[in-house]
Amino acid sequence: MRRASQKPPRVFSASSHDLPIVDLYIVTETGTAHDPRGREGALHLCLRALRRGTARRTAHEIDALIDRLGAELSTSADPTTSMLHATVIRRNLEPFLDLMHDIVTAPALPMHEVAQVAREIKAEIIDTRDDDRSLAGRHFRRALFDGHVFGRASQGTPNSMDRLTRDDARRAWDLAFRRSNVVIAAAGDIRPAELETFAARTLAALPDTRPPARDVAEPAPVKGRHLVIVDKPARTQTQIYVGNVGSHPRDRDHMALTVANTIFGGTFTARLMREIRSKRGWSYGASSRLARDRVRDAWSMWTFPAAADAPACVALQIKMVERLVEKGVSARELAFAKSYLSRSFAFEIDTASKRLWHDLDVRLLDLPKRYFKDYVARVDAVTLDEVNAAIRKRIDPDNLVITLVATASEIRPALEKCLKGLDSTRVVSFDVD
């Protein structure tokens, strides 16, 4: 792997000539945290509208050229970054890079096209209300990160989409696509020199103005047990998220907490899966996850039992967390988790794109420089005392957000009876912004 000589680096490449395919990533180091209040989704709208016309090409011409070149182009945005991801056949790389240069550096953002994209996004947001898991996850983060940018809707809301205009999309581009705010990367059948030539040309064409601040405030830990029921009619099955704020890889106990999470809910044989699925058959899946971002993100559990089993399922999950904090994990569990994480790491570096994203994550998420290079050694070095200390410090059964998508009138009494020590219960409609 080579990097360009800029300090800090703005160009990353991972060459692999096994397949005649190139993955191109154009990433901004700031994200939707900079969307103005009431205009959430401005950056997401901007990204989606970039392919709807440039100074040289119409939307129809762009779409036709992408199809003709055998390419794909997608976009994404979160609070701390945004990205264009393209895949193209090697033989068409040169004309495709020319197109991407045009899209990124000279977007026309035609008023009628931006308005059409806003309508499409609004329809998609409304459609996601049919996806109960996404709905539960969104409301979980909204409650856990109340008042923090991690709790905002990166894609926007139906109401914000009604308000956003071409001017909002243009301001989002002006803010994000500044020369020193953009990172360009590629993996696959591309030579580093080819990428560096494209990156130099593209970065030089972007405004050389001061980028917005990358800093994101640390989220405040939740205080108390808070139940949020996302009320949806006729739910015979629920989607449940339970959790609190976790850790960041720069925390000294992050790797120990990673190992603890693996033991608790990170594998098919973990504690959650054994108790929830194997022994009781309440949920086909049961897992826990330690998310990673520029600052501490969520530690969460996910299950999806039948509505009739949901109260007992949630109560058991919390009891399991209490037991985890009180009793810790065993030496046998620790040995298995360390072996699993060390051996499975091979699947984290088996493609050029995965190796590329290790370098990008270090840059974009402020990870320790050798986070991935020393990963296996750091896992192997974790001790039982460190794991149990991390659990006690980072996971608190008395301070949790519990979010369910369910029919509130049918499940609330049983939930409040099963869940002891609730500090609040809130019911929100599934179609609320």
pLDDT category at 6 given cuts 50, 70, 90 is very low
Please report whether residue 215 resides in a domain.
Answer: no
**297 shares its domain with 388:** yes
**Res 9: pLDDT:** 81
d(CA 79, CA 285) in angstroms, rounded, equals 28
Residue 8 reports pLDDT greater than 80 = no
pLDDT single digits (tens) 29-54: 999 999 999 999 999 999 999 999 99
**Res 64: pLDDT:** 97
Strand 239-245: give its sheet, edge to edge.
Answer: 286-290, 298-303, 239-245, 400-406, 225-231, 424-429
Helix (H) or strand (E) holding 412: helix 408-418
Residue 342 reports pLDDT greater than 60 = yes
To the nearest whole number, what is the mean pLDDT of the chain? 96
pLDDT category at 7 given cuts 50, 70, 90 is low
**Res 326: pLDDT:** 98
Q: Are 43 and 82 in contact (CB under 8 A)?
A: yes
**197 shares its domain with 229:** no
Please report whether residue 216 resides in a domain.
Answer: no
Please report whether residue 211 resides in a domain.
Answer: no
- Using a pLDDT cut of 70, give the percent of the chain over it: 98
Q: Which is it for strands 400-406 and 225-231: parallel, antiparallel or unpaired?
A: parallel
**178 shares its domain with 233:** no
Q: Are 289 and 241 in contact (CB under 8 A)?
A: no
- CA angle, corner 382, sides to 378 and 388, nearest 5? 140
Residue 152 reports pLDDT greater than 60 = yes
**262 shares its domain with 315:** yes
Task: Give the DSSP letter of residue 6.
Answer: -
Average pLDDT over residues 346-356: 96
**Res 320: pLDDT:** 98
pLDDT category at 5 given cuts 50, 70, 90 is very low
**184 shares its domain with 328:** no
Helix (H) or strand (E) holding 136: helix 132-144
**Res 1: pLDDT:** 41
pLDDT category at 433 given cuts 50, 70, 90 is confident
d(CA 310, CA 316) in angstroms, rounded, equals 10
**198 shares its domain with 319:** no
Please report whether residue 27 resides in a domain.
Answer: yes
Average pLDDT over residues 99-105: 98
Last residue of a domain, one of 204, 239, 262: 204
**262 shares its domain with 170:** no
Q: Which residue has tokens 């060390």?
A: 342
Please report whether residue 209 resides in a domain.
Answer: no
Please report whether residue 80 resides in a domain.
Answer: yes
**196 shares its domain with 323:** no
d(CA 229, CA 428) in angstroms, rounded, equals 6
- Region for residue 221 given its phi and psi (left: phi exceeds 0; alpha: psi -120 to 50; beta: otherwise): beta
Average pLDDT over residues 8-21: 92
Q: How many domains does the chain have?
A: 2
Average pLDDT over residues 376-399: 97
Last residue of a domain, one of 174, 204, 234: 204
Domain carrying residue 129: 2-204
- Using a pLDDT cut of 90, give the percent of the chain over it: 98
pLDDT category at 104 given cuts 50, 70, 90 is very high
**143 shares its domain with 250:** no
**Res 2: pLDDT:** 40
Please report whether residue 212 resides in a domain.
Answer: no
pLDDT single digits (tens) 160-183: 999 999 999 999 999 999 999 999
**140 shares its domain with 232:** no
d(CA 148, CA 142) in angstroms, rounded, equals 9
Q: CATH number of the domain that 177 lies in?
A: 3.30.830.10
Q: Which residue has tokens 């973990």?
A: 270
One-letter amino acid at 301 equals: M
**197 shares its domain with 274:** no
Residue 385 reports pLDDT greater than 80 = yes
**184 shares its domain with 302:** no
pLDDT single digits (tens) 211-267: 999 999 999 999 999 999 999 999 999 999 999 999 999 999 999 999 999 999 999
Torsion sign, CA atoms 14, 17, 18, 22: positive
Please report whether residue 234 resides in a domain.
Answer: yes
